[in-house]
Amino acid sequence: MRLVTALGLIAALALSTAACGKTQQAQGPAGDQIRSYLLEHPEIVEEAINKLQQKRQAAADAQIRQAVATSRAKLERDPRDFVAGNPNGKVTVVEFFDYRCPYCKAAMPEIEKLLSDNKDVRLVLKEFPILSPVSESAARAAIAAKAQGKYWPVHQAMLAEKNLDEDAIQRILKANGVDLNAAAQAATAQPTSTLIDDVHALARTTGVTGTPAFIIGDQMIAGWDPAKIQEAVKQARAAQG
């Protein structure tokens, strides 16, 4: 008996039972046949569950692709975001990150190498603080540093800092020539709060729930997966022609 046949019998039995208003365990020849077959071939249930999971994943992926397409400008061309690599590159990599995320920290050297090896890549950085109040302080400090033209070295230093706390944030800002008084004002200003809120809203729209998360073309890659990211970059490049 094929999987489709077994599932067909199950579906037919379920419909028959529902139509009769029965809630007790199915009885009779059909029910006995299905039960006997499933007991002899329990792998059928696993196959059915796997197929259901694949169907749900495909639907989720399609939903993400649609959300990404709808939000393309907000993802890739928000003038408030810092762009690393080649600002005019034809391939855009969007990264949602948190300065206290250990995976974001571990990925940073490889991301720098990705930019070095792919001169046509522009990296759009989305401040997405989700782990702690220090994460938000760091994001606000980085946004304030951007206003003074110091974003990239501050970004690199905060991701390199193993134990990032409030003191470390101030130390990093000072070490990179950031005016601390001006930065303090910018960090708490409404435009900074609005930017962070907008990034969180964008994450919800596109299905980003953790860090790091990357959106390349129509793909969302959760976590740091160099092979997937490289392949997505190649596909995006090919799509550009």
pLDDT tens sequence across 119-151: 999 999 999 999 999 999 999 999 999 999 999
Question: Shortest CA distance to 204 belongs to which of 59, 62, 57, 67?
Answer: 67
Give residue 40's pLDDT band: very low, low, confident or very high (50, 70, 90): confident
Quote the tokens at residue 227.
Answer: 């092979």
* Domain identity same for 35 and 80: no
CB 193 within 8 Å of CB 176: no
pLDDT reported for residue 98: 98
Domain end, chosen from 47, 66, 85, is at 66
The CATH number of whichever domain residue 174 belongs to comes to 3.40.30.10
CB 151 within 8 Å of CB 142: yes
Q: Is the pLDDT of residue 172 over 50?
A: yes
* Domain identity same for 170 and 222: yes
Q: Which residues pair with 127 in a beta bridge?
A: 97
Which pTM was predicted?
Answer: 0.75
Quote the tokens at residue 147.
Answer: 């206003």
pLDDT for 177-213, tens place per residue? 999 999 999 999 999 999 999 999 999 999 999 999 9
* Domain identity same for 153 and 201: yes
Q: What is the 3-state secondary structure (H, E, C) of 110-155?
A: HHHHHHHHCCCEEEEEEECCCCCHHHHHHHHHHHHHHHCCCHHHHH
Q: Which residue has the higher pLDDT, 240 or 142?
A: 142
